[in-house]
Structure 1
Amino acid sequence: MNTLPPLNTLRAFDAAARHGSFSRAADALNVTHGAVSKQIASLEAFLGVTVFERTAHGLEPTEAGAVLAPIVAEALDAMAEGVRRVRRSATPSTLTISVLPSFAAHWLIHRMPRFLDRHPEIDVRFFTTRRVVDLTKEDVDLAIRYGLGDWPGVHAECFMRETLTPVYAPALAALHPELEPTDLLRFTIHSHHTDASNWKLWRIGMGLPDSDLPPVAVYDDTALAMQAVLGGQGVILGRSPLITDALAAGRLVRLSEVDIPSAESDYLVCLERHRARPAIKAFRDWLIEEAGLH
């Protein structure tokens, strides 16, 4: 006698339990609402009990459903992790790295040829996203993150401290060759949404009055703010690794010699059990070396 229901019925049940809705479960599974409903009906027929009931608050698990939900979730997660481990063992020299688009575009990509020349046996795949990926559930080996290093359930190693300083493009400088810090008030500030406190610290460091900033264009992606400033549209409080190459190439100009330390740093993040993997260790060693040259 088969003691397990079909896998698709359990996947549909898990998605519905997680999302509290057949419609949202269908979106998560990329199927129709009717397909989810049919799979749940099939599961209930197999079990001989109902697993969900509709209430004024939406879809709620029955007593039987509440017992089953965490067991199914844990089993599906375990199967997914098993598949990931087998895939990784089949291609041990492939690294998938999650990284912020801004850090990838303005620091990492230009340096990667040195890593690939040193380790031609390692294939690298980049997953650029502003989202903090779940390394326990997603097919990602490493993450390069900007923050305080306090992400739970992972090993995080700081490889670079950052400073912040205002910069602008030569096209803007050509129009104002005698630019002074107080002239910030003439131009649009291009800013990440977390930059307000850093601008305040920089003004204090310059001895400038703690007054309101000029018009501010706020972005959720630093890469977009950088593009605006490189196009001569204003000023940005530049993160040191993101502006180093552009300053050296003359594509950006410092507003002053005053830097302030960033409260956040750059971290290499992986699961503790993966730290000893040769490809991860090779990338970690190279990254720290490169950061030391920064």
Structure 2
Amino acid sequence: MHYQKSCMIREANAMTKRPLPPLSALHGFDAAARHLSFTKAADELFVTQGAISRQIRQLEEHLGVPLFRRFTRRIELTDAGEEFHSVVAGVLDQLSNVTQRIKRRQDIDILTVSVLPSFASAWLMPRLYLFTEKHPRIEVRLHTSIDPVVFGSSGPDVAIRVGRVPGKHYDRNQPRVELEMIENWRGIHIDELLPDRLVAICTPRLIEERGKLTPREIAELPLIHTTSRRFAWPDWLQAHGVSRGTRSENSLELGHFFMSIQAAGQGRGVAIVPDIIANEDLEMGRLAVAYESDVNSAGDYCLLIPDNDLDHPPVKCFREWLLEEIANSFRREAKPVEA
């Protein structure tokens, strides 16, 4: 019984063991095949010519065929040698590449950023290459979410959210922000990035056809609502002295601001969105402002960081870059609300 088990183990090992050539000899063979010279191969690998010759013979004995034709002053690869070297060179290149990638990875810091989907697509992602150019050793991983952020071992390093800043006074007539930024504020550092300024947008064709619109005229048009900001339109209209109790039959409700922007550009109606998300489309002429008056909501875009992580190098670099980029990009004053 013991003999049968031993045989079974040996057979299993034989089946799983790869029939590989002597791996220590592959470097010598590769160098000799590239240079077609045992002497140059020895110089490259800092060994003797005799060591290269022994490695080649070892491979040839293992394979059972000659790999080189040997002449008085030169060598040539045989057909088998050509075939074998094409594979060996590729394998060594792959090993070299993956080794370098893994070694480089040890020098790279990972920074996980949780960010609102529309803010990510409209503002952060188009500028993220600037951060990468400045900090090539920091790899940024974006996770999009509108949920309250939860920091911890499985959470992000930093987060960008919009909502009410604790302790800050907001006017009760400002449009509401229903989103909660974080579940627990204890030990959290807050950087206010910019106010959540709402703007009514539409296709430029609508302005060309109808001219300048009033808030009351806008209220009669199909309105594009965004699910996460249910009160944006009622509060915006109320801020401009217009009360609207019901939606028109052609109104839309979409999941994210970037979807609302697309629908407005397609002429589906008028959308109310944060100006930070619509600015590029407005500047490029893909969208038009339906009414020249922005309204600040009762909330701000904020960068949230656990206090204990403020001095962590990748977090510190990202925070400094983001604050500088925000300052450079959004210096315009908020426009007064027109009655």
TM-score by length of 2: 0.55
Quick check: 2:257–2:273 contact (8 Å CA) kept in 1? Answer: no
Q: Any idea what SS the aligned residue of 1:159 has?
A: strand
Q: Structure 1 residue 221: deviation in Å?
A: 2.5
Shift of 1:139: 4.4
1:164 corresponds to which residue? 198
The letter for the 1-side match of 2:260 is: A
Gaps of 5+ in 1: 1-88
1:110 is displaced (CA, Å) by 1.6
Aligned-pair CA distance for 1:159: 1.4
- Do residues 272 (structure 1) and 307 (structure 2) align? yes
Please give the alpha-carbon distance, in whole angstroms, between the structure 1 residues aligned to 2:165 and 2:214: 36
SS of equivalent to 2:122: helix
- RMSD after superposition: 2.5
Change (3 A) 1:260 1:139: closer
Do residues 233 (structure 1) and 268 (structure 2) align?
yes
Secondary structure of residue in 1 paired with 2:326? helix
Alignment-derived partner of residue 110 in structure 1: 126
More off after superposition, 270-279 vs 173-182: 173-182
Instruction: Tell me the residue number matched to 1:143.
Output: 159
Name the counterpart of 1:256: 291
Instruction: Give the match for residue 116 of structure 2.
Output: 100
Change (3 A) 1:193 1:139: closer
CA positional deviation for 1:143 = 1.0
SS in 2 for 1:131: coil
Q: Deviations 1:261-289 (Å, cap 9, x if unpaired)?
A: 11111111122211111111111111111
Distance in 2 between residues matched to 1:117 and 1:217, nearest whole Å: 40
Amino acid at match of 1:222: F
Structure 1 counterpart of 2:199, which letter? T
* Alignment partners' CA distance in 2, 1:161 and 1:91: 37
Bigger relative contact order, structure 1 or 2 (CA pairs below 8 A, ≥6 apart): 1
Residue of structure 1 in register with 2:237 after alignment: 203
**Highest Rg: 1 or 2?**
2
d(CA) in 2 for partners of 1:266, 1:228: 24
Change (3 A) 1:115 1:240: same
Question: Once the 2 structures are TM-superposed, how far is the Cα of residue 247 of structure 1 from its aligned partner?
Answer: 0.9
Q: Which stretch has the larger CA shift, 101-110 or 199-208?
A: 199-208
CA distance in 2, matches of 1:267, 1:112: 17
Is the Cα–Cα contact under 8 Å of residues 107 and 137 in structure 2 kept in the other structure?
no
Pair 1:182 & 2:182 matched: no
User: Which of 222, 226, 229 is the aligned partner of 1:192?
Assistant: 226
Partner of 1:97, secondary structure, is strand
Alpha-carbon offset, residue 138 of structure 1 = 1.8
Q: CA deviation at 1:210?
A: 5.0
CA contact (8 A) 2:116 2:144 kept: yes
Partner-residue secondary structure (3-state), 1:109: helix
Partner residue of 1:60?
Answer: none
2 CA distance for matches of 1:119 and 1:234?
42
CA contact (8 A) 2:219 2:237 kept: no
Residue aligned with 1:245, SS: helix
